Amino acid sequence: MSSRRSPVPLPMRDGVAASYLWLPEGQWPDMITFLVERYPQISAAQWQDRMARGDVVNGDGAVLAPDSAYRRGMRIFYYRELERETPIPFQEEILFQDAHLIVVDKPHFLPMTPAGRFVQETLLTRLKKNLDCTELTPIHRLDRETAGVVLFSRQPASRGAYQTLFQRREVHKVYEALAPHLEGRDFPFTYRSRMVEADQFFLMREEAGEANSETIIDVIERRGDMSLYRLQPHTGRKHQLRVHLAALGIPIVNDAFYPLASPCEEDDMSQPLQLLARAIAFVDPLTGEPRRFESRRSL
């Protein structure tokens, strides 16, 4: 079977690739009726404007009109657009790049990829625009609230080799976090727990059962009534470090989710989460050489 991908009929625009949707089973009189029902946050007038600009097409690149027939199984392409997007006033820094990898020092508050209320103000979009690299893809991810080192793949041919390193847990990651003192423990120690999705959207929680998450915790230094911790996760569960420290009774400074979710203040960037992806190290699967990259940021 050929590994070549079908061409996308809409080009990347302002660093954002076109989104697509396979039309599901159902009966709708025309395309705009379906689109308004599928995406109620986008008005009929907005869809009409996009279609008039030629920004909604089928897989062959033919422009779709509001009265175009709805056909189950057809794939349509369109651009995500936001009327208003909160500017992120912090800048990423490229630490390293070659033909295969780009290593970036991500600031707090900058999302990794387009989602929800962010499209342009994301690390992936910024890099695609600045580097004119349409194939750029994150190899792993950091939370929007977390700063530090993250890797991107420049080309599909070598992407799998680097992704496999993470799947096999052959990547050594070191984080730093500022949190209250933890008394009564000998450092370093390993914390393990079973983490599952919480009932509340987007959050995680611990439950009884076989552990599926593991973090080595050490103290770097004391800072008044806080400690700077070195965290080395052996597993990569969502929000793992935040959940583990909260469970120990030392939630990370400015964590708005753990141990209790606070009222959302999405545009407040005055109190960044005190969590930093300090360093990442691995043996390069293409060259066999050891690699280590370290953030230039500090908590």
Task: List active site positions.
Answer: 143
Q: DSSP assignment, residue 9?
A: S
Tell me the Ramachandran region of residue 100: left when phi exceeds 0, alpha when psi lies from -120 to 50, beta otherwise: alpha
Token representation of residue 83: 């009327």
CA gap 108, 113 in Å, rounded: 14
Three-state DSSP string of 109-141: CCCCCCECCECCCCHHHHHHHHHCCCCCEECCC
* Radius of gyration over every alpha carbon of the chain, rounded to an integer in angstroms: 22
CA 68 to centroid of chain Cα atoms: 35
SS3 call for 102: strand
